[in-house]
Amino acid sequence: MGLVVDTGEGKGKERLWRAAADRHSWSISDFAADEDAATALGWLERYYVSQLHARADAWFDRAADWPAAWADHLGVSDDVVVVTPEQLVTLQEEHQALLERYRDAGGDDPTARRIALYAYALPVDPEPGDEVDRP
């Protein structure tokens, strides 16, 4: 499956594209043996973060225009957990299962909106090692 699909919209030679899926994920180790692929993945991950930044900036500029029912629950939040690699896998699987339950929960409700939820599991201390920062 490709990353984008043609929407069939547009005028003349202008074509509009959309993401082929509502979710993307990968494992860094899948690309470790291919330097070009690893470089491309690094670019893609940084591009995703830049898009998050742009979307967040746009939200901050318009948040006050949204009804409180939305604005009070949109925006930025973060949390810190202390887990093993295996527990992190389980946490991510449970998180994904929760999102799947809500993937199209709004269905045809005209008050429903598409909401982007970003998840970045990042170490508090980016240096690899045995020591763990505790919250």
Q: Are 49 and 30 in contact, with CB atoms under 8 Å apart? A: no
55: which 2 tokens? Answer: 């979307």
Query: 68-121 pLDDT, tens per residue?
Result: 999 999 999 999 999 999 999 999 999 999 999 999 999 999 999 999 998 888
Query: 8-34 pLDDT, tens per residue?
Result: 887 888 887 777 777 777 888 888 899
Report the SS3 class of residue 11.
coil
